[in-house]
Structure 1
Amino acid sequence: MSILTNTEELIKQRFEALFLDVKAAQHSAINEGKPELSVIEIEQSKTARSLLRVEKQAIREKDLNIKSDLSFLNTITDQINIEVAKRLNESIQDTDHLYSKIIGIDRSLPELLDLVGIKAATISKVEPIATELPWFFNDLMKFVNQPKYRRIDNKGKTVVVETMRVGLSFFGLENLMTILTSLAFKRSLPQITDPYPQIKLRIWEEALATAISCKQIASVVGVNQDHAFCIGILQTTGKVVVSKLYFRLFESVLREALLETHNAQKHEEHSALTRITPSGPFLNHLIDTHALKISAKLIDKMAMKRVMIANAMFEVANNESAVNLSPLALVLKQGKAYAQYRMLKGHKLIDLQQSKDFIRTLRMPKGSLELLKTTDMHSLDLSINND
């Protein structure tokens, strides 16, 4: 198991903070290393005059009361988190449930991904299987009819795509793996993550940036670009699973605890429970512990025969050293790290020196950085097939 350098640990902490809340992450980065003020220091900073001894004592008592209250609240929170972690650990043992219910991978999706990835694929072969995906037609129509992709006929009118066949051929068969994987993953994103509403956006941002980075690196080192994009997206499914389960289980455990303390007339504990909210740092801990291994199990369960990415996912999930990684696994490891760097840079959470230090740890293949620097990480690079 590899040990993180100081730079890698810094990036990890910044990225976990970004996952929860952009503004909070930026505030934390700005104030990194600065000592936090106690209640006494805050109160004293509000006035330039010297406080009387009795006033100082009152502030000290207020400080102690706040610390005592926080300590009790933290104890109750820890108890809730322990129970949530226990139930989550039990839930993730059932891969079938995660696959079909939590992520909702359709039976036909692996078969379709296998098919669109071969040179012999044709629209007539793809269309019947694509039709079996209940959501795919509507999502595809919305995608191809976006304003940025609209075609204009010779009369100046917008050409609206209305059939599956035209939609499938709109960008050419060579882009179907990218489109299909993206649309399928986007459907799985968590919807309710209060008090961290940005989580859904961050997961999508990470998945897309990782997939695009992997595809670009793959083009330099001679790895299948479709497979690289696919694993770059799907490696994030474990994070989706943990996020969805955490918020559901937290709500369930908290509701049970509130009922139990109410019935037992434990007023102090009940009052503390009413003030507890989901813990972002604890969610990050659960993701760090479980997410990649869940991704590997889910990809393995897809049992794709031609898009062979499961072994590479297991290598990364098991944190194999770079020298032991297969070419695709190394592409994923580097693409994932580079995507995190670009996200931090985009949100102004990493400075120039930190960027240089981190990029150096990635040992990127020659020519890849020049390519990645000019790559848009926020949208799919697709051109309309005019044939």
Structure 2
Amino acid sequence: MTARLKQSVSQLAGIYNNRFDKLLLSVDEAIIDAGRKTEAQRLLEDSEQHEARRMLLSVEELANKKRELQATAENAFLFQVEADFHQELVADLEIEFRNTAEIMKTVLKFDSSLGKLLDVLYTEACSISRLVQCLETLPWLETAITKFSLQPKYRRVDSAGSPIVLKTTRSVLSFIGIESLRTLIPVLVAKHINPLKSEFTPDLVKNMWLYTLGSGNIARALAEARGVRPHFGFNLGLMSNIGRSAVVNMYLREFDKQLRAQIIKARKDNNPNQAKALGMLSPSHKYILMLWKRHANKITSNVFKELDCRWLTIATGFEDFSKIRETSISAIEDQNLHPFASLLFSAQGFIQYKMLHGHNLMGKKEAMVYLRNYGITSQDVQTISKINLTGIELNIAGTIEEAPEKNE
């Protein structure tokens, strides 16, 4: 491959990766990025209101142009206020991003005991007693497992036809079974990490969950062919968005906090124009995307390193993944990065393609180049086609089924 071709392929990957990041936050924003019109835009153009605007008299048009010039000046001031506000906000966040312990405690709300649980889960000596002991320090996960077991489809009755009530954590774990827990527990951890709901990121909760679960399932499916244990691949994918979730949650929290403080200060300083402009600000996808690119993968690496897993040794994969600077499987091979990093790269690439394609945001020819760039072969496609990308296969009480997991 010539240097020019490599560059063009890398540029294509960059375009679609940027579009995918926008898709995570807002489907409409990704549609606009693709040069198409959103449903809301089409409805507006078809409306009588739009038709009326097209028929404005020349006098009204001149008045509108005058208002637009005034608005442009106001927008310039607002733009500067937003830029100054975010300069300070980003500087503060970048300091917070380095405090891994605080991120785990206040943002993700778990500690290093989770690492011990994940280790126990994948050892031959794993037992219900050991899992019960580990869950004592993780009440949120204990609650999530119990809630999962209470779904109507898992209810069982005794010989008299009465519902069997699982009253203790031990009975819940025994009912689900260790093999199913090896799939379920990492999924529930990933679900716990998923971003919080916000009106400013309308599609993030749903799309990030599909991305996370898809990455885990694909990485597990591709793992063996790449010399990686399937449960390592599964956890690589499921934990890969720790950083993205932490960044967006921290950004939204700090945005609100600092905006209130700056509005109060502007009012105290008798600066009503500044206070008014600040009051018009809202969280910006542009800055979230920038922070994801700069910090998300490093945060994921730091957090998983802090979990200090001794058996689920995938921290090196996240560390090497954070070193990727060029979106190309050949570049990864040239860097001699860990096979875990290469596996995660390919898994994320495929689910990104799948989600973009699902919204008609990537053409067929571009898709072929994009997948090759992520190291996806025709054999990989065949392997992936056999799995449920956004479901989990469990064997509970002797019943094997595909249990779709939705983030509600």
TM category, shorter? 0.7 to 0.9
Q: Is the 8 A contact 2:112 2:306 kept in 1?
A: no
1:250 and 2:255 aligned: yes
User: What per-residue deviation string (whole Å, max 9, x for no partner) do you get for residues 85-119 of structure 1?
Assistant: 01101111211111222212234211111111122
What letter corresponds to residue 106 of structure 2 in structure 1?
Answer: K
1:322 and 2:332 aligned: yes
In structure 1, C-alpha distance between the alignment counterparts of 2:182 and 2:118, rounded to whole Å: 6
What letter corresponds to residue 321 of structure 2 in structure 1?
Answer: V
Q: How does 1:368-383 map to 2 (within 5 A)?
A: 368-383=380-395
The alignment yields a C-alpha RMSD, in angstroms, of 2.7
1:346 and 2:351 aligned: no
Against the structure 1 CA distance between its residues 130 and 48, is the aligned structure 2 distance closer, same or farther, given a 3 Å change threshold?
A: closer
- CA shift at 1:151, angstroms? 4.3
Q: Is the 8 A contact 2:195 2:205 kept in 1?
A: yes
Against the structure 1 CA distance between its residues 293 and 264, is the aligned structure 2 distance closer, same or farther, given a 3 Å change threshold?
A: same
In structure 1, C-alpha distance between the alignment counterparts of 2:127 and 2:255, rounded to whole Å: 47
Q: Is the 8 A contact 1:177 1:230 kept in 2?
A: no
1:117 and 2:122 aligned: yes
1:298 to 279, 285, 303: 303
Partner of 1:206: 211
1:173 and 2:154 aligned: no
In structure 2, C-alpha distance between the alignment counterparts of 1:146 and 1:61, rounded to whole Å: 61
What letter corresponds to residue 396 of structure 2 in structure 1?
Answer: I
Q: Is the 8 A contact 1:83 1:253 kept in 2?
A: no
In structure 1, C-alpha distance between the alignment counterparts of 2:68 and 2:126, rounded to whole Å: 69
- CA shift at 1:48, angstroms? 5.6
Q: Is the 8 A contact 2:108 2:246 kept in 1?
A: yes
- CA shift at 1:60, angstroms? 3.0
Q: How does 1:147-166 map to 2 (within 5 A)?
A: 147-151=152-156, 159-166=164-171
Partner of 1:240: 245
- CA shift at 1:226, angstroms? 1.0
What letter corresponds to residue 317 of structure 1 in structure 2?
Answer: S
User: What per-residue deviation string (whole Å, max 9, x for no partner) do you get for residues 168-214 of structure 1?
Assistant: 24443233233222212322333353322432333222211111111
Against the structure 1 CA distance between its residues 103 and 69, is the aligned structure 2 distance closer, same or farther, given a 3 Å change threshold?
A: same
Q: Is the 8 A contact 2:183 2:394 kept in 1?
A: no
Larger mean Cα displacement after TM superposition, 160-169 or 222-231:
160-169
Partner of 1:225: 230
In structure 2, C-alpha distance between the alignment counterparts of 1:343 and 1:269, rounded to whole Å: 41
In structure 2, C-alpha distance between the alignment counterparts of 1:48 and 1:197, rounded to whole Å: 35
Q: How does 1:356-371 map to 2 (within 5 A)?
A: 356-365=368-377, 367-371=379-383
1:29 to 31, 34, 41: 34
- CA shift at 1:350, angstroms? 2.6
In structure 2, C-alpha distance between the alignment counterparts of 1:160 and 1:209, rounded to whole Å: 33
Larger mean Cα displacement after TM superposition, 126-135 or 85-94:
126-135
SS at match of 1:232: helix
- CA shift at 1:284, angstroms? 1.1
Q: What are structure 1's unaligned runs of at least 5 residues?
A: 37-41
What letter corresponds to residue 331 of structure 1 in structure 2?
Answer: L
Against the structure 1 CA distance between its residues 148 and 379, is the aligned structure 2 distance closer, same or farther, given a 3 Å change threshold?
A: farther
2:285 to 280, 283, 308: 280
1:186 to 169, 185, 191: 191
What letter corresponds to residue 342 of structure 1 in structure 2?
Answer: K
In structure 2, C-alpha distance between the alignment counterparts of 1:212 and 1:346, rounded to whole Å: 18
User: What per-residue deviation string (whole Å, max 9, x for no partner) do you get for residues 251-309 of structure 1?
Assistant: 12211211111112212211111111010121111111100000000111111111111
2:22 to 17, 40, 59: 17
- CA shift at 1:231, angstroms? 1.7
In structure 2, C-alpha distance between the alignment counterparts of 1:317 and 1:209, rounded to whole Å: 20
In structure 1, C-alpha distance between the alignment counterparts of 2:11 and 2:365, rounded to whole Å: 13
Against the structure 1 CA distance between its residues 135 and 350, is the aligned structure 2 distance closer, same or farther, given a 3 Å change threshold?
A: same
In structure 2, C-alpha distance between the alignment counterparts of 1:185 and 1:303, rounded to whole Å: 17
Q: How does 1:121-160 map to 2 (within 5 A)?
A: 121-151=126-156, 159-160=164-165
Q: Is the 8 A contact 2:263 2:278 kept in 1?
A: yes
Against the structure 1 CA distance between its residues 56 and 124, is the aligned structure 2 distance closer, same or farther, given a 3 Å change threshold?
A: closer
How many pairs does the alignment contain? Answer: 376
Q: Is the 8 A contact 2:166 2:172 kept in 1?
A: yes
Q: Is the 8 A contact 1:178 1:230 kept in 2?
A: no
Q: Is the 8 A contact 1:181 1:233 kept in 2?
A: yes
SS at match of 1:287: helix
- CA shift at 1:156, angstroms? 5.9
Q: What are structure 2's unaligned runs of at least 5 residues?
A: 1-5, 42-48, 326-330, 400-408
Q: Is the 8 A contact 2:180 2:395 kept in 1?
A: no
Against the structure 1 CA distance between its residues 143 and 219, is the aligned structure 2 distance closer, same or farther, given a 3 Å change threshold?
A: farther
Partner of 1:336: 348
Larger mean Cα displacement after TM superposition, 325-334 or 167-176:
167-176
In structure 1, C-alpha distance between the alignment counterparts of 2:18 and 2:265, rounded to whole Å: 36
Against the structure 1 CA distance between its residues 311 and 47, is the aligned structure 2 distance closer, same or farther, given a 3 Å change threshold?
A: closer
In structure 2, C-alpha distance between the alignment counterparts of 1:122 and 1:366, rounded to whole Å: 40
Partner of 2:403: none
User: What per-residue deviation string (whole Å, max 9, x for no partner) do you get for residues 295-332 of structure 1?
Assistant: 00011111111111111111110116321122221111
